[in-house]
Amino acid sequence: MDQAGIIRDLLVWLESHLDQPLSLDNVAAKAGYSKWHLQRMFKDVTTHAIGAYIRARRLSKAAVALRLTSRPILDIALQYRFDSQQTFTRAFKKQFAQTPAWYRRASEWNSFGIRPPIRLDDSTLPEPTFVTLPETLLVGQTQSYSCTLEQISRFRDEMRLHFWKQFLTETDRVPPVLYGLHQVRASQEKDDEQEILYTTAVPADQLANSMQSNQSVLLEAGDYVQFTYEGPRTELQEFILLLYGTSMPTLGLTRRYGQDIERFYTHGGKKLAEPPVDVRCEYLIPIRQPQTA
């Protein structure tokens, strides 16, 4: 295997072990090289020092945990292998230009400081489209569930399907456009979990007579960045994680307060016996438009 292939495999392994001990000796043993040779090879292929990269990725993971859970800062620091809250705070402030406490409390989520994982494959990032939505009246149902950050990928698809089925119980037809409005907040009951509010809705003018029991939902006006996904329904969550972990920081965007919007385009006909395997979805994230010079 060539050097790029070796480092590509190592990057994948590192990403799933950021909360484990990752001394240069450990990483070199995994790669099967001396630590001196591995450091040179990693720098040659990625242009980054391996130790600095691991630290930046750990801090980026910690930043997500700060925003999406109410876990104590010390717990997050220890999970990502910092020996004290003071050490963590110094490193975090150096990378994000603010303390972990301020980062958690900020009303907006600035992607500055997040180090996206290095990808050595030929895949391109999803193409962003910047849109301004008017205030729109929808009709739907809002439900909630809680999960840990580690459970989110599995839970999100399961809950989406569950809520779709509940929402469409009263009709035998699928609306041509189906919305999922998604908002996350720290759980009030468990500090290592997040509470996810998910609203399944359709435009008010598409409301079928048999769906009158649903409630009015306001889709907020504002600026959004929109990405399009077409593919297996079960891989949509990985696409969303790619948007937040790589696309948003690469574009230098700030997520403002508001709901993420999933806009699904369906076959628009009679309900099928089984949920769709493939979906077409426009995913919109509320943003504060960058200032132009």
Most confidently modeled of 108-117, 195-204, 210-219?
108-117
- If you average pLDDT over residues 237-248, what whole number do you get? 90
Report pLDDT for 267. Answer: 82
Are 217 and 138 in contact by the 8 Å Cβ rule? The answer is: yes
Within 8 A by CB and 6+ apart from 40, the residues are none
Q: What is the CATH number that goes with domain 129-288?
A: 3.20.80.10
Q: What is the mean pLDDT of residues 128-156?
A: 87
pLDDT at 208: 59
**Strand (E) or helix (H) holding 138:** strand 136-147
pLDDT at residue 290 in the model: 65
Task: Tell me phi and psi for residue 155, to 5 degrees.
Answer: -65, -35
Q: pTM of this prediction? A: 0.87
Q: Is 194 exposed, middle or buried (0-12, 13-18, 19+ CB in 10 A)?
A: buried
Determine the CATH number of domain 3-106: 1.10.10.60
DSSP secondary structure letter of residue 19: T
Lowest mean pLDDT among 17-31, 198-212, 254-268: 198-212
Residue among 288, 179, 137 at smallest CA distance from 225:
288
Q: What percent of the chain has pLDDT over 90?
A: 54
pLDDT for 268-288, tens place per residue?
Answer: 778 777 888 899 999 999 999
pLDDT at 175: 86
Task: Tell me the pLDDT tens digit for each residue of 111-126.
Answer: 999 999 998 876 788 9
Other Cβ atoms less than 10 A from the Cβ of 128: the count is 18
Q: For residues 76 and 216, what is the distance between their CA atoms, to the nearest angstrom?
A: 39
Domain residue ranges of the chain, discontinuous segments joined by +: 3-106, 129-288
Instruction: Average the pLDDT over each of 44-53, 164-173, 175-184, 218-227 and give the range with the smallest value.
Output: 164-173
List helix spans (H) across the chain. 3-15, 24-31, 35-46, 50-68, 73-79, 85-96, 100-105, 152-167, 236-242, 248-251
DSSP 141-204: EEEEEEE-GGGHHHHHHHHHHHHHHHHTTT-SB--SEEEEEEEEEE-SS-TT-EEEEEEEEEEG
Q: What is the pLDDT of residues 9-34, one digit of tens each?
A: 999 999 999 999 999 988 988 888 89
Q: Give the residues across from 134 on adjacent strands.
A: none
What pLDDT score was predicted for residue 131?
96
Range scoring the smallest mean pLDDT among 74-88, 126-140, 182-196 = 182-196
Mean pLDDT of 166-190: 84
Burial of 123 (0-12, 13-18, 19+ CB in 10 A): exposed
* Pairwise pLDDT comparison (58 vs 289), residue with the higher score: 58
Largest CA distance in the chain: 70
Q: Say whether pLDDT at 69 is over 90.
A: no
Q: Higher-confidence residue: 162 or 255?
A: 255
More confident residue, 131 or 174: 131
> Out of 149-163, 177-191, 206-220, which region has the weakest mean confidence (pLDDT)?
206-220
The one-character DSSP state at 252 is T
